């Protein structure tokens, strides 16, 4: 066990700016607990401005590898830069953003350093021995596992919006420019197609009306759209509607978006554990389902056993009426 003053730095890295700021907030808390410093890692080309910005979110140091080869986030170049930095400066904890690229980088870095990596952490704290305790959802949402890593650096990846963004204060951090020998990419990106982004991010919606297999046709979503509009909320989908029926591309659930709206209304959703894992932290959960045995009712505040094709439009009407007169 290390004593005060012996702990290595806490580092954070994400190619996603918002997520990076969230990591800095949590990283700062961990660093304070260990009485060590928080550092941001920044890879890219001509990134001076961002380096300064990170110091305002709590980073005492910003390690910058500035190289044109890092501009398009090639895995080999980035992973080799990260490996070089860790070997040189020996952080104790390294937090990554759980984007798909971030998770790949973290896994590959962990392999090169022969250490562990706990992905998609929703809980991070320091135990009495000064180790990082990492909590994550496992078994398709059936459980939360608490894990620790006995090798340094202890690597964790963190999904978006798990931790709060800290407030910006003009910081006095040090920017450290590091020359690292980078590996050439072994893959070549030949084409990029943008996926059309939804107007409002589902994670940011206060009210979510979600539809599942109980909806027979894609067009039937217009009744959910109308209810969502009444509630100034967003419509969301389950994975089978995206992967099996190919109606949509983006789903809520363990492998998709995790949401915690103030109000969640599940329509024709049976509530398989993977979906439930993505909505569990909603404040109020309403479920509308024909099947009284549907597992979603196990985690529901208000249960309606009935036909969504009747209940959903009626609910929109009732709400319009009550909100007008109420």
Partner 1 sequence: MLRIIVCVKQALDVTQIRADPATRHLITVDAPRKISDFDKNALEEGIKLKEKMGAEVIVLTATSEDAKMILREALAMGADRAYFVMDPSFENSDTLATSYILAEAIKKIGDFNLILCGEASVDSYSAQVGPRLAERLDIPQITYARKLSLDNDTVTVERTLEDRYEVVKAKMPALVTVTGETNEPRIPSLMAIMKATKKEIVTWSAEDLAISKEKVGETGSAIHVTEVLAPKVERKKVLIKGESAAEVAEALAKALIKEGVIGR
Site for partner 1 in 131-160 (CB under 8 A): 133, 137-151
Rule CB under 8 A: choose which of 38, 81, 121, 272 binds partner 1.
272
Q: Which residue has the tokens 């969230």?
A: 22
Rule CB under 8 A: choose which of 7, 26, 61, 108 binds partner 1.
108
Q: Which residue, 39 or 254, is less far from partner 1 as judged by CB? A: 254
Tell the smallest beta-carbon distance from residue 33 to partner 1 (Å).
Answer: 18
d(CA 256, CA 237): 10
1 makes contact with partner 1 (CB under 8 A): no
Q: Which residue, 177 or 301, is less far from partner 1 as judged by CB? A: 301
Q: Which residue, 200 or 317, is less far from partner 1 as judged by CB? A: 317
48-56 helix and 17-34 helix, angle to the nearest 10 degrees: 50
Query: Between residue 86 and residue 105, which ones bind partner 1 under the rule CB under 8 A?
Result: 99-101, 103-104
326 makes contact with partner 1 (CB under 8 A): yes
d(CA 69, CA 186): 13
d(CA 288, CA 285): 10
What's the farthest any 2 CA atoms get from each other in the chain? 68
Rule CB under 8 A: choose which of 49, 170, 181, 193 binds partner 1.
193
215 makes contact with partner 1 (CB under 8 A): no
231 makes contact with partner 1 (CB under 8 A): yes
Give the dihedral of Cα atoms 160, 162, 168, 174; nearest 10 deg.
-70
Order of strands across the sheet that contains 174-177 = 117-118, 154-158, 93-97, 10-13, 38-44, 61-66, 174-177
200 makes contact with partner 1 (CB under 8 A): no
168 makes contact with partner 1 (CB under 8 A): no
Q: Which residue, 213 or 280, is less far from partner 1 as judged by CB? A: 280
307 makes contact with partner 1 (CB under 8 A): yes
Q: In terms of Cα–Cα distance, which of 283, 277, 274, 286 is closest to 206?
A: 283
């Amino acid at each position: 066990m290390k004593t005060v003053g012996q702990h290595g730095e806490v580092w954070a890295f994400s190619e996603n700016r918002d997520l990076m700021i969230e990591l800095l907030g949590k990283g700062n808390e961990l660093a304070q607990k260990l009485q060590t410093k928080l550092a941001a890692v920044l890879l890219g080309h001509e990134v001076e401005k961002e380096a300064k910005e990170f110091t305002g979110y709590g980073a005492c140091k910003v390690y910058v590898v500035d190289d044109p080869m890092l501009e398009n986030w090639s895995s080999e170049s980035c992973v080799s830069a990260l490996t070089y930095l860790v070997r040189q400066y020996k952080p104790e904890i390294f937090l990554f953003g759980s984007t798909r690229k971030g998770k790949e980088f973290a896994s590959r870095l962990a392999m090169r350093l022969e250490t562990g990596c706990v992905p998609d952490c929703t809980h991070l704290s320091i135990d009495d021995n000064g180790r990082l305790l990492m909590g994550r959802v496992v078994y398709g949402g059936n459980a939360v596992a608490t894990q620790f890593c006995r090798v340094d650096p202890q690597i964790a990846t963190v999904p978006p919006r798990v931790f709060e963004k800290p407030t910006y204060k003009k910081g006095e951090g040090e920017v450290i420019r590091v020359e690292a020998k980078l590996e050439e990419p072994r893959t070549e990106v030949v084409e990029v197609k943008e996926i059309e982004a939804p107007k409002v991010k589902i994670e940011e919606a206060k009210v979510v009306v979600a539809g599942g297999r109980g909806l027979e046709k894609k067009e039937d979503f217009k009744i959910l759209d109308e209810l969502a509009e009444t509630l100034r909320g967003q419509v969301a989908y389950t994975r089978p509607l995206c992967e099996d029926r190919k109606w949509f591309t983006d789903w809520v659930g363990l492998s998709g978006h995790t949401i915690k709206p103030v109000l969640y209304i599940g329509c024709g959703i049976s509530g398989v554990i993977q979906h439930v894992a993505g909505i569990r932290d909603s404040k109020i959960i309403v479920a509308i389902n024909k099947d009284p045995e549907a597992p979603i009712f196990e985690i529901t505040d208000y249960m309606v056993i009935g036909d969504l094709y009747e209940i959903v439009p009626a609910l929109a009407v009732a709400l319009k009426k009550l909100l007008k007169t109420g």
